[in-house]
Amino acid sequence: MPELPEVETTMRGLKKEVLSKTFIGVWTDFPKIIKKPKNFEKFKKEIKGKKIKKIWRRGKNILFELSNKKTLLVHQKLTGHLLVGKWQKAGNIWQAPSGPLSEKINSFLHLIFTLDNGQMLALSDVRKFAKVELLDNQELKKEINSLGPEPLEKSFTFEKFKKALQKKKGRIKPVLMDQTIIAGIGNIYSDEILFASQVHPQKSTLDLKENEVKRIYQNIKKILKKAIWLKGESISDYRIPSGKKGGFDKERKVYRREGKKCSRCKTIIERVKIGGRNAHYCPRCQKLC
């Protein structure tokens, strides 16, 4: 699932490519991907002729502020990613030019916006879990106000983080992934943050020592910033808007590395289920007790 670094990377790429452009058409083969309004023809009518005035990110959501004072929200969910390019339709298939956009994972196109500069903004999503909504100001506030603080903002201080952990009882990995506590962290980066902090993913927030909380806080900022700089993790479906892979994979220490040696102590990395989600960790570097 695209997490904060992937969504931030996508948002920055889209700002360069489609900001100030106008939607002149919309195509889909899966109208259910549009959650608001549920009628695709109504969505198409409201989008057509609207200019993109601003593009920003909140949590894992990409937000396009439009000239009609509405906001287009795209949550890429598990396997979705936004692409910019030009496609030609041959029968029922959209064909990409040779290059990164022609990679198989970029070919599951279910929503395409045509822009006034001849470019297209497309959503590729093999499992069709992505969410697209057109919201007015009140609906947008409701959507984003439920999210926790942005971990890379200056206002996200150590004291605020510590208080948030004190209020939320539970094991540290799912707490880090709770979007009402911190916005944007998911399965990949919670694993990497906890490994770097030498904290077991099953450790209770109530049992964390002050120095452990400090390390987690510092590594949230450090690892997310590095992942953005490397344009995200493409171990699975995620690609940047050009269709290329992100470069964080060379930094991955524990996520999906069960059975391999820890880069720090050479102990075999293990995997455990926590609340229905996989957690990867080193049993020696990240002791539970």
Answer yes or no: do 195 and 76 share one domain. Answer: no
Residues 137 and 79 in one domain: yes
The CATH number of whichever domain residue 274 belongs to comes to: 1.10.8.50
- Give the contacts of 233 (CB within 8 A, at least 6 positions apart): 3, 5, 6, 188, 227, 246, 248, 249, 252, 255
Distances 144 to 38, 56, 60, 83 between C-alpha atoms, Å? 20, 12, 10, 24
| Same domain flag for 17 and 56 | yes
Residue 74 and residue 174 share a domain: no
Residue 60 lies in a domain: yes
What token pair was written down for 259? 């059975």
Residue 17 domain boundaries = 4-145
Last residue of one domain, picked from the residues 145, 177, 204: 145
Q: Are 115 and 121 in contact (CB under 8 A)?
A: yes
Please report the pLDDT score of residue 280 as a whole number.
98
Q: 270, 277, 283, 284: which one is catalytic?
A: 277
**Does residue 63 share a domain with residue 17?**
yes
Q: List the structure tokens of 137.
A: 């100001």
- Asked whether residue 164 falls in the same domain as residue 215, the answer is yes
Active site residue 3: yes
- Contact present, 243 and 83 (Cβ < 8 Å): yes
Q: Is the dihedral of CA 26, 241, 137, 38 positive or negative?
A: positive
Domains in the chain, number: 2
For residue 221, report the phi and psi dihedrals to the nearest 5 degrees: -70, -45
Contact criterion met (CB below 8 Å) for 231 and 161: no
Q: Which of 21, 44, 58, 60 is catalytic?
A: 60
Residue from 3, 8, 17, 233 carrying the catalytic annotation: 3
pLDDT for res 18: 98
Q: Say if 8 falls within a structural domain.
A: yes
Q: Is residue 232 part of a domain?
A: yes
Domain shared by 195 and 263, yes or no: yes
Q: Residues 80, 171: one domain?
A: no
Domain assignment present for 289? no
Please confirm, yes or no, whether 97 is among the known catalytic residues.
no
Q: Structure tokens of 169?
A: 């009882």
Same-domain pairing of 57 and 141: yes
Is position 151 within any domain?
no
Query: Domain check: are 98 and 162 in the same one?
Result: no
Q: Tens digit of pLDDT per residue, the chain (289 long)?
A: 799 999 999 999 999 999 999 999 999 999 999 999 999 999 999 999 999 999 999 999 999 999 999 999 999 999 999 999 999 999 889 999 999 999 999 999 999 999 999 999 999 999 999 999 999 999 999 999 999 999 999 999 999 999 999 888 899 999 999 999 999 999 999 999 999 999 999 999 999 999 999 999 999 999 999 999 999 999 999 999 999 999 999 999 999 999 999 999 999 999 999 989 999 999 999 999 7
Domain-terminating residue out of 114, 145, 176: 145
Residue 204 β-bridge partners: 171
Q: How much is the pLDDT for 92?
A: 86
Q: How far apart are CA 224 and CA 145, in angstroms?
A: 22
Structural domain includes residue 152: no
Do 92 and 172 belong to one domain? no
Which of 121, 145, 169 corresponds to the end of one domain?
A: 145
Q: Are 84 and 13 in contact (CB under 8 A)?
A: yes
37 assigned to active site: no
Answer whether residue 288 is part of any domain: no
* Domain presence at residue 260: yes
Report yes or no on whether pTM surpasses 0.95.
Answer: yes
Residue 10, domain CATH:
3.20.190.10
The residue count of the chain comes to: 289
- The reply to whether 201 belongs to the active site is no
- Same domain flag for 25 and 131: yes
Q: Given 3-state DSSP classes, what are the helix, strand and coil percentages for the chain, each rounded to the nearest 5?
A: 35, 25, 40
Residue 34 CB partners (closer than 8 Å, separation 6+): 28, 40, 43, 111, 132, 133, 134
**56: how many CB neighbours lie within 10 A of its CB?**
12
